[in-house]
């Protein structure tokens, strides 16, 4: 039920209840025939007309009280009004007459109901289903024509035979009723196809109401032609029943709007059943007389089924091709993805290029993208990747293809003459370069020639990746290494003991990162963070750092600021931005009790967790003014004891494994 005011809801329920009671009384009188002539006239005229007017009123109440689909039900209500006007005219002017003229004003009202209701149903389809594809229309035509074929085979012949007496205009009028009824029923069935063969209750109610009207029209024509129609019999209850069902459908809330997306089983079974029905009608024609209309409708059904099968095959092929493209395409940039690259690389490695040409594979890794993403946000980062990918593809042109492997990694594979190799690599680097206020994006690269330097896709990727990382390391040496060297020199001059401590921590970090099998880039960042993790202590007074006794709370708060200070110092060199992030978190604890951000477990960067373990070990075995020196074995035991609270258990295990492997190093027990 729709959301109505309490008064409107009460009036509606009262009216619906009164109509239901009146209809039951009318149907009981028609079935049992109780009462005399006065009672018959009361039911056959006044109750009958009252039921029709009540249905019309119920429909227009929906128009007045509910805004949604108002125009649809206004048209449906208009159709019911004109049909009811025809019934009222028939009841008051023609009922009981010896001969009823055909056509009459009553017929005008009845027949006008069909096009108006058809328009209302089409508006309802458009409102609830939306855009309808050609395949959906075809599904509707298939089922609608099959239903019409069965109806024509069962009922059309006797109706036609009973309606061919009289003038041509009378015959046409009589035949218009079953044709109009079949048309409306076919449209309701078609709407079920549009909704994915999941019609809502309102569609079921509409179909039931139209079926009641169609059945009553057909039986009336037969009984009238045979002289067997009796006014006030049970047949007369079918017309008000149909009107009331149509009006009740207006008050059933529509299902959520959905386009037809039936499952594969329904999409195959329902047209197949329609085809079997059509074949059955044609088969029956060999043993009995079947109306021509039924045969024609059956042939239309079969032709539509064949056409639908063709469309389904084409859709399936298109879906397969689309799935294949999606599986080999990067969703963000539209370039080929890793799967597509591996296929193309295998083909390039297996097939020799044309005479005088080479297969060139270049692996690119963006420089500065992480900082750009952090500064401007992920949407801006995605837009940047899309722009750069488009430029890379344009730089390759028709000579090859560009790919995105994910993240900030791009590739190109091209066939070119030896003299064009440098131009292709340079064009790719230029395409992946962009500068603006506050950012600078470039790329490191590694290239390989196929099949001379690699005969498999895996080998080509490994060689190109190794060369790319070597290129990245050389680029970093000009900025990151120099910046690190400046800071390490400043530490050595300012606090020689602290410089020695950092050097030892870095040596430990090298072995632990190797044990953890980190990537070369992760190892490099972690070791640099180990070298610089206490650089912020340059801002802490020596008297505080070398205080013999324990620090008070205020002094500890001051010392705890050194990680944030160190992050600011290191991040001033853009090449060391990833290292600065590790330094900030190097004093966090696994249980969340560290500083400065209170991170816990996997929230702490892995490099920071490595630095924390190495720093703690070196602090325990070194001479310190504020603590007693521990042996290597005791220090490792303390790390194990604090694993899971202060330290990452996995990093502690890696540290112990590295200590066992070392025979002549600071981590040897």
Write down the pLDDT at residue 187.
Answer: 72
517-545: per-residue pLDDT in tens?
Answer: 888 878 888 988 888 888 887 777 666 66
142-186: per-residue pLDDT in tens?
Answer: 766 777 677 667 655 555 555 555 566 776 777 777 777 777 777
577-586: per-residue pLDDT in tens?
Answer: 788 889 999 9
Q: Which residue has the higher pLDDT, 526 or 264?
A: 526
Q: Which residue has the higher pLDDT, 7 or 355?
A: 7
Write down the pLDDT at residue 390.
Answer: 93
403-438: per-residue pLDDT in tens?
Answer: 998 889 999 999 888 778 888 999 999 999 998 887
Q: Which residue has the higher pLDDT, 53 or 183?
A: 53
Contacts of 332-336 with CB under 8 Å at 24 or more apart are: 332/382, 332/385, 332/386, 332/389, 332/404, 333/385, 333/386, 333/389, 333/390, 333/404, 334/386, 334/389, 335/389, 335/392, 335/393, 335/401, 335/402, 335/403, 335/404, 335/410, 336/401, 336/402, 336/403, 336/404
Q: What is the pTM of this model?
A: 0.45
Q: End-to-end CA distance of the chain, in Å?
A: 80
Give how far the C-alpha of residue 250 lies from the chain's centroid of Cα atoms, to the nearest Å. 33
Residue 575 · residue 497 · CB < 8 Å: no
Task: Give strand ranges (E) for 431-528.
Answer: 434-436, 439-450
- Angle (CA) 376 406 479, round 5°: 60
CB atoms within 10 A of CB 327: 10
Please provide the average confidence, as pLDDT, over all residues in the chain.
Answer: 80
Whether residue 99 is predicted with pLDDT greater than 70 in this model: the reply is: yes
Write down the pLDDT at residue 411.
Answer: 94
d(CA 243, CA 56): 8
Write down the pLDDT at residue 192.
Answer: 66
Write down the pLDDT at residue 666.
Answer: 45
- Mean pLDDT computed over 604-611: 93
Per domain, the residue ranges of the chain are 6-312, 338-470, 495-661
d(CA 638, CA 641): 5
| Residue 366 host element (H or E) | strand 357-367
CB atoms within 10 A of CB 391: 17
Write down the pLDDT at residue 605.
Answer: 92
Whether residue 109 is predicted with pLDDT greater than 80 in this model: the reply is: yes
Contacts of 103-111 with CB under 8 Å at 24 or more apart are: 103/169, 103/170, 103/173, 107/173, 109/82, 109/83, 109/84, 109/85, 110/83, 110/86, 110/177, 111/173, 111/176, 111/177, 111/180
Q: Is 286 helix (H, G, I), strand (E, B) or coil?
A: coil
Q: Which residue has the higher pLDDT, 103 or 563?
A: 563
pLDDT band of residue 258 (cuts 50, 70, 90) is: very low
Q: Which residue has the higher pLDDT, 396 or 575?
A: 396
Q: Which CATH entry fits the domain spanning 495-661: 1.20.120.10, 3.40.30.10, 1.10.3210.10, 3.40.50.150?
A: 1.10.3210.10
Whether residue 667 is predicted with pLDDT greater than 60 in this model: the reply is: no
Write down the pLDDT at residue 259.
Answer: 45
pLDDT band of residue 260 (cuts 50, 70, 90) is: very low
3-state helix, strand, coil in the chain (%, to 5): 70, 5, 25
Look at domain 338-470 and name its CATH class: alpha beta
Whether residue 664 is predicted with pLDDT greater than 50 in this model: the reply is: no
- Mean pLDDT computed over 613-642: 83
pLDDT band of residue 489 (cuts 50, 70, 90) is: low
Write down the pLDDT at residue 353.
Answer: 63
Could you tell me where the DSSP H helices lie in 227-250? 238-249
d(CA 224, CA 161): 12
Q: Is 361 helix (H, G, I), strand (E, B) or coil?
A: strand
284-340: per-residue pLDDT in tens?
Answer: 877 777 777 778 878 888 888 888 788 777 777 777 766 766 678 888 898 999 888
Flag the least confident range among 29-43, 282-296, 535-549, 617-631. 535-549
- Mean pLDDT computed over 513-518: 90
Residue 106 · residue 67 · CB < 8 Å: no
Write down the pLDDT at residue 173.
Answer: 76
- β-strand pairing of 357-367 with 409-417: antiparallel
């Amino acid at each position: 039920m729709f959301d109505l005011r309490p008064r409107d809801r009460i009036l509606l329920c009262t009216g619906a209840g009164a109509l239901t009671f009146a209809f039951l009384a009318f149907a009981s009188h028609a079935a049992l025939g109780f009462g005399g002539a006065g009672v018959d006239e009361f039911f056959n005229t006044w109750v009958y007309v009252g039921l029709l007017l009540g249905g019309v009123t119920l429909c227009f109440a929906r128009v007045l009280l509910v805004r949604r689909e108002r125009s649809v039900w206004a048209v449906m209500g208009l159709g019911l009004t004109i049909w009811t006007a025809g019934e009222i005219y028939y009841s008051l002017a023609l009922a009981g007459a010896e001969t009823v003229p055909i056509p009459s004003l009553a017929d005008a009202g009845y027949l006008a109901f069909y096009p108006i209701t058809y328009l209302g149903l089409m508006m309802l389809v458009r409102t609830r289903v939306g855009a309808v594809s050609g395949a959906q229309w075809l599904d509707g035509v298939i089922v609608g024509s099959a239903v019409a074929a069965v109806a024509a085979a069962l009922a059309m012949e006797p109706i036609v035979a009973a309606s061919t007496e009289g003038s041509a205009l009378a015959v046409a009028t009589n035949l218009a009723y079953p044709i109009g009824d079949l048309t409306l029923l076919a449209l309701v069935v078609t709407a079920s196809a549009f909704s994915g063969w999941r019609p809502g209750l309102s569609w079921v109610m509409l179909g039931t109401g139209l079926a009641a009207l169609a059945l009553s029209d057909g039986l009336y024509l037969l009984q009238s032609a045979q002289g067997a129609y009796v006014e006030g019999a049970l047949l007369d209850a079918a017309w008000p029943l149909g009107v009331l069902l149509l009006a009740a459908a207006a008050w059933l809330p529509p299902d959520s709007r959905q386009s037809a997306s039936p499952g594969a089983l329904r999409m195959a079974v329902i047209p197949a059943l329609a085809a079997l029905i059509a074949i059955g009608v044609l088969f029956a024609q060999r043993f009995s007389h079947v109306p021509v209309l039924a045969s024609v409708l059956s042939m239309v059904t079969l032709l539509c089924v064949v056409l639908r099968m063709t469309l389904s095959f084409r859709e399936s092929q298109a879906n397969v091709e689309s799935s294949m493209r999606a599986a080999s395409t990067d969703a963000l940039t539209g370039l080929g993805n890793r799967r597509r690259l591996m296929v193309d690389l295998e083909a390039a490695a297996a097939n020799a290029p044309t005479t005088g040409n080479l297969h060139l594979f270049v692996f690119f890794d963006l420089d500065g993208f992480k900082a750009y993403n952090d500064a401007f946000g992920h949407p801006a980062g995605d837009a940047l990747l899309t722009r750069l990918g488009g430029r890379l593809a344009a730089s390759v042109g028709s000579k090859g293809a560009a790919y995105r492997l994910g993240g900030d990694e791009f590739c190109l594979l091209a066939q070119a003459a030896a003299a064009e190799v440098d131009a292709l690599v340079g064009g790719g680097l230029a395409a992946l370069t962009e500068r603006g206020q506050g950012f600078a994006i470039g790329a490191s690269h590694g290239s390989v020639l196929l099949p001379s330097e690699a005969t498999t896709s895996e080998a080509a990727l490994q060689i190109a990746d190794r060369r790319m990382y070597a290129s990245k390391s050389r680029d970093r040496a000009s900025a990151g290494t120099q910046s690190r060297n400046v800071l390490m020199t400043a530490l050595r001059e300012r606090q020689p003991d602290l410089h020695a401590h950092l050097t030892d921590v870095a040596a430990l970090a090298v072995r632990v990162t190797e044990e953890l099998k980190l990537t070369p880039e992760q190892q490099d960042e972690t070791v640099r963070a180990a070298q610089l993790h206490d650089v912020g202590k340059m801002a802490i007074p020596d008297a505080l750092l070398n205080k013999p006794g324990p620090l008070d709370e205020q002094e500890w708060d001051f010392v705890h600021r050194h990680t944030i200070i160190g992050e600011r110092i290191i991040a001033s060199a853009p090449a060391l931005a990833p290292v600065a992030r590790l330094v900030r978190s190097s004093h966090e604890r696994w249980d969340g009790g560290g500083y400065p951000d209170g991170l816990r477990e996997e929230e702490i960067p892995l490099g920071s967790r490595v630095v924390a373990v190495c720093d703690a070990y070196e602090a325990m075995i070194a001479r310190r003014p504020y603590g007693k020196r521990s042996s290597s074995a005791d220090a490792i035991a303390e790390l194990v004891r604090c694993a899971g609270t202060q330290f990452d258990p996995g990093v502690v295990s890696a540290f112990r494994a590295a200590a066992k492997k070392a025979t002549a190093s600071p981590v040897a027990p």
